[in-house]
């Protein structure tokens, strides 16, 4: 029997951490601190609200909608404590997207931050299976906070099984079709015993900060579960910008930061304006970390980036490396607890140095909710993540592309991210995505979408043409010339999921010129 909520609450409080700060946050007016004892009490009161007022029973699915703040965290833990299934959703989702999730997971109840409830009410009209919404971060009559006031501060966790589902996390959909991934109580604890222990080597004195939403398992683990599992402190902040994250690192004396490569890149020019003396470890995941970003970050901060790849299907990071074990250009090795290998087209282990499909197994794995795509993801016990990787003789894994992002042009294999990495080194370029577009002569051609640091550079067509040819020459000078983008389009922004991944499928539907 196992209820994972206990492992973040009473178990930790009983280990001598009751008066330690569990969660810090800030509202517009005040800063907020909850000790482990206070967090336990709040979670228990919310648990009573879920059982006594919402009349939910173990196994019921509860949609959670909120930004990264203490009440959102407490609601997730309370849902687990009462044996229900948490379905956290990205704060920016619109009614139609929410309704797809509600229908797919047959969700009858929601806990929603008051600031975000309007869109959920629209979704409820589209999906009447959702019968009740209780708002938090509100003092109104009927709000979670108001109902909590009369509730006891103790609650005995429902005696769930280690293999009861407690979390359904929806993939953010780089392909546009979200899938629900189901995770057990034991999975939630397993991720806390893998990456944070062996790679991050987090300590109870650590203060965790960062940007990924709690609705994304990267954020749920990195910003809430990993700190709480060891009695450390989680700083939960909403609407962070590169500048406010740097400022908050100094203000909260954060030691561990989780964010995506794009965010680290955007912070770089501002790093000299901050002390960052407290910062010891920076974790990058969610998208591939270009070597240039890793090197620039190290030059600016002196910190060796901890790169990692995870997947919503696997719950958290399964390949990574830290400190002296990290290598520029490699994501890392299989995180202890996981095994990883590269498979060829036939499903056999590919030789060292050959690109193939990444396959992973370990304590967590893919269980899609009612989705035929399960059979494509899990093969002979291996999870096929959809990433093309190469393993070197030392067991380091080198990212090449998403398997569906390999471009085959005139018989050559081109990995889009390799070309992106070169283009990103051009001084005029801020962001870039490379895709293959159908071409009669070559099968596919390489096309780059580029966001410039200064968009005014291409306001006149002649300047634009000159810059296209300059970037093309730049790529040819740095990699095999057949990889150069025959077509370059300047854009104001790249289409991204809420978790920061580029939605290449949207770019692939454009034309070549
Ligand atoms: O996208 C990733 O690399 C990732 C990392 C950690 C946890 C979850 C995900 C999807």
The helix/strand/coil state of 357 is strand
Has residue 171 got a pLDDT over 90?
no
The finding on whether 217 has its CB within 6 A of some atom of ligand 1 is yes
Task: Output 412 or 248, whichever has higher pLDDT.
Answer: 248
From the centroid of its chain, how far is CA 391? 24
The finding on whether 218 has its CB within 6 A of some atom of ligand 1 is yes
Over the Cα atoms of the chain, what is R_g? Answer: 23
The finding on whether 135 has its CB within 6 A of some atom of ligand 1 is no
- H or E element at residue 310: strand 306-310
pLDDT at site 414: 84
pLDDT at site 510: 64
Q: How far is the CA of 14 from the centre of ligand 1 (A)?
A: 31
Report how far residue 147's alpha carbon sits from residue 140's, in angstroms, rounded to the nearest whole number: 10
CA angle (287, 312, 7) in 5-degree steps: 120
What mean pLDDT is predicted for residues 251-261? 97
pLDDT at site 513: 53
Quick: pLDDT tens for 154-169.
999 999 999 999 999 9
Judge contact between 448 and 487, C-beta under 8 A: yes
Report how far residue 30's alpha carbon sits from residue 27's, in angstroms, rounded to the nearest whole number: 5
Has residue 132 got a pLDDT over 60?
yes
Going by pLDDT thresholds of 50, 70 and 90, the confidence category of residue 188 is very high
Full 3-state SS string of 158-226: CCCCCCCEEEEEECCCCCCCCCEEEEEHHHHHHHHHCHHHHHHCCCCCCEEEECCCCCCHHHHHHHHHH
Closest ligand 1 atom to 171 CA = 10
Judge contact between 307 and 320, C-beta under 8 A: yes
Length of the chain: 513
| Number of CB atoms found within 10 A of residue 400's CB | 23
Nearest CA to ligand 1 atom 5: 310
Q: How far is the CA of 211 from the centre of ligand 1 (A)?
A: 13
Q: How far is the CA of 260 from the centre of ligand 1 (A)?
A: 10
pLDDT at site 344: 92
Nearest CA to ligand 1 atom 4: 310
Nearest alpha-carbon partner for 447 in 495, 493, 387, 405 = 405
Tell me 51's DSSP state.
I
> For the purposes of burial, counting CB atoms within 10 Å of the CB of 371, is it exposed (0-12), middle (13-18) or buried (19 or more)?
middle
Beta bridge partners, 117, equal none
Going by pLDDT thresholds of 50, 70 and 90, the confidence category of residue 509 is confident
pLDDT at site 498: 79
pLDDT at site 504: 86
Task: Output 320 or 497, whichever has higher pLDDT.
Answer: 320
> For the purposes of burial, counting CB atoms within 10 Å of the CB of 464, is it exposed (0-12), middle (13-18) or buried (19 or more)?
middle
Judge contact between 34 and 234, C-beta under 8 A: no
Max CA pair span of the chain = 72
pLDDT at site 441: 80
Query: Which residue out of 286, 319, 503 has the highest number of ligand 1 atoms within 8 Å of its CB and is therefore the one to mutate?
Result: 286
Quick: pLDDT tens for 76-93.
999 999 999 999 999 988
Phi and psi at residue 148, to the nearest 5°: -65, -30
Closest ligand 1 atom to 311 CA = 10
Phi and psi at residue 485, to the nearest 5°: -75, 115
Judge contact between 137 and 113, C-beta under 8 A: yes
The finding on whether 283 has its CB within 6 A of some atom of ligand 1 is no
What is the pTM (predicted TM-score) of this model? 0.90
Phi and psi at residue 496, to the nearest 5°: -130, 155
Query: Which residue out of 216, 225, 320 has the highest number of ligand 1 atoms within 8 Å of its CB and is therefore the one to mutate?
Result: 216
pLDDT at site 505: 84
Q: Given CA atoms 193, 194, 196, 197 in this order, what sign does their dihedral have?
A: positive
Has residue 199 got a pLDDT over 70?
yes
The finding on whether 319 has its CB within 6 A of some atom of ligand 1 is no
Going by pLDDT thresholds of 50, 70 and 90, the confidence category of residue 135 is very high
Q: How far is the CA of 317 from the centre of ligand 1 (A)?
A: 6
pLDDT at site 438: 86
Task: Output 277 or 509, whichever has higher pLDDT.
Answer: 277
User: ipTM of this predicted complex?
Assistant: 0.96
Q: How far is the CA of 222 from the centre of ligand 1 (A)?
A: 10
Q: In 358-489, where does DSSP find H-type helix?
A: 374-377, 416-424, 461-478
pLDDT at site 418: 86
Phi and psi at residue 178, to the nearest 5°: -60, 145
Has residue 315 got a pLDDT over 70?
yes
* Counts of helices then strands in the chain (DSSP H, E): 18, 25
What does each C-alpha distance from 346 to 118, 278, 342, 355, 407 come to in angstroms? 50, 49, 11, 13, 20
pLDDT at site 22: 98
Has residue 281 got a pLDDT over 90?
yes
Task: Determine how β-strand 233-236 pairs with β-strand 207-210.
Answer: parallel
CA angle (388, 197, 313) in 5-degree steps: 40
Has residue 216 got a pLDDT over 80?
yes
pLDDT at site 121: 98
Going by pLDDT thresholds of 50, 70 and 90, the confidence category of residue 402 is confident
Has residue 65 got a pLDDT over 80?
yes
The finding on whether 310 has its CB within 6 A of some atom of ligand 1 is yes
pLDDT at site 427: 94
Query: Which residue out of 190, 194, 311 has the highest number of ligand 1 atoms within 8 Å of its CB and is therefore the one to mutate?
Result: 311
The finding on whether 289 has its CB within 6 A of some atom of ligand 1 is no
pLDDT at site 512: 53
Has residue 175 got a pLDDT over 70?
no
pLDDT at site 174: 53
Tell me 253's DSSP state.
T
Going by pLDDT thresholds of 50, 70 and 90, the confidence category of residue 446 is very high
Q: Given CA atoms 54, 57, 60, 62 in this order, what sign does their dihedral have?
A: positive
Report how far residue 1's alpha carbon sits from residue 355's, in angstroms, rounded to the nearest whole number: 42
Q: How far is the CA of 318 from the centre of ligand 1 (A)?
A: 9
What mean pLDDT is predicted for residues 268-290? 96
pLDDT at site 164: 98
Q: Write the CB contacts of 455 (distance below 8 Å, at least 6 apart in sequence).
A: 490, 492
What mean pLDDT is predicted for residues 135-139? 96
pLDDT at site 413: 76
Nearest alpha-carbon partner for 157 in 260, 30, 8 = 8
- Mean pLDDT over all residues of the chain? 94
Report how far residue 395's alpha carbon sits from residue 381's, in angstroms, rounded to the nearest whole number: 21
The finding on whether 312 has its CB within 6 A of some atom of ligand 1 is yes
Beta bridge partners, 31, equal 26
Report how far residue 49's alpha carbon sits from residue 54's, in angstroms, rounded to the nearest whole number: 6
Nearest alpha-carbon partner for 18 in 33, 40, 1, 2 = 40
Quick: pLDDT tens for 456-485.
888 888 889 999 999 999 999 988 888 999
């Amino acid at each position: 029997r196992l209820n994972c909520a206990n492992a973040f609450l009473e178990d930790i409080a009983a280990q001598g951490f009751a008066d330690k700060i569990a969660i810090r946050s800030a509202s517009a007016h005040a800063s907020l601190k909850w000790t482990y004892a206070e967090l336990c009490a709040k979670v228990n009161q919310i648990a009573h609200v879920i059982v006594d007022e919402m009349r939910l029973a173990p196994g019921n699915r509860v949609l959670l909608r909120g930004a990264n703040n203490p009440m959102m965290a407490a609601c997730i833990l309370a849902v687990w404590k009462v044996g229900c299934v948490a379905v956290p959703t990205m704060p920016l989702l619109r009614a139609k997207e929410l309704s797809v999730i509600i229908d797919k997971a047959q969700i009858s109840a929601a806990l929603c931050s008051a600031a975000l409830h309007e869109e959920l009410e629209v979704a409820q009209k589209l999906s009447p299976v959702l019968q009740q919404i209780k708002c938090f971060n509100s003092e109104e009559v009927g709000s979670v906070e108001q109902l909590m006031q009369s509730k006891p501060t103790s609650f005995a966790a429902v005696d769930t099984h280690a293999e009861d589902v407690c979390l359904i996390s929806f993939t953010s959909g780089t392909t546009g079709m979200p899938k629900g991934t189901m995770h057990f109580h034991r999975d939630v604890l397993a991720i806390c015993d893998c990456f944070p222990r062996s790679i991050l080597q987090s300590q109870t004195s650590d203060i965790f900060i960062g940007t990924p939403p709690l609705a994304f398992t990267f954020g749920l683990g990195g910003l809430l579960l990993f700190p709480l599992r060891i009695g450390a402190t989680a700083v939960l902040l909403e609407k962070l910008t590169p500048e406010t994250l740097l400022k908050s690192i100094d203000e909260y004396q954060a030691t561990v930061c989780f964010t995506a490569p794009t965010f680290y890149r955007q912070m770089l020019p501002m790093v000299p304006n901050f002390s960052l003396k407290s910062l010891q470890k920076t974790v990058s995941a969610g998208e591939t970390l270009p070597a240039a970003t890793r090197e620039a970050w190290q030059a600016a901060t002196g910190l060796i980036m901890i790169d990692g790849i995870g997947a919503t299907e696997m719950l958290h990071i399964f390949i990574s490396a830290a400190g002296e074990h990290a290598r520029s250009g490699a994501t890392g090795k299989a995180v202890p607890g996981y095994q990883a290998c590269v498979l060829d087209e036939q499903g056999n282990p590919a030789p060292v140095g050959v690109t193939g499909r990444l396959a992973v197994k370990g304590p967590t794995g893919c269980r899609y909710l009612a989705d035929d795509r399960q059979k494509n993801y899990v093969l002979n016990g291996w999870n096929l993540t959809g990433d093309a990787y190469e393993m070197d003789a030392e067991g380091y894994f080198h990212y090449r592309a998403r398997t569906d992002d390999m471009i085959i042009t005139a018989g050559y294999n081109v990995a889009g991210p390799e070309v992106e990495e070169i283009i990103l080194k051009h001084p005029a370029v801020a962001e870039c995505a490379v895709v293959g577009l159908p071409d009669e002569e070559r099968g596919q051609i390489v096309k780059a979408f580029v966001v410039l640091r200064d968009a005014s550079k291409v306001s006149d067509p002649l300047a634009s043409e000159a810059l296209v040819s300059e970037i093309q020459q730049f790529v040819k000078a740095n990699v095999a010339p057949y990889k150069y983008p025959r077509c370059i389009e300047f854009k104001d922004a790249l289409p991204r999921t809420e978790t920061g991944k580029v939605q290449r499928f949207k770019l692939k539907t454009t034309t070549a010129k």
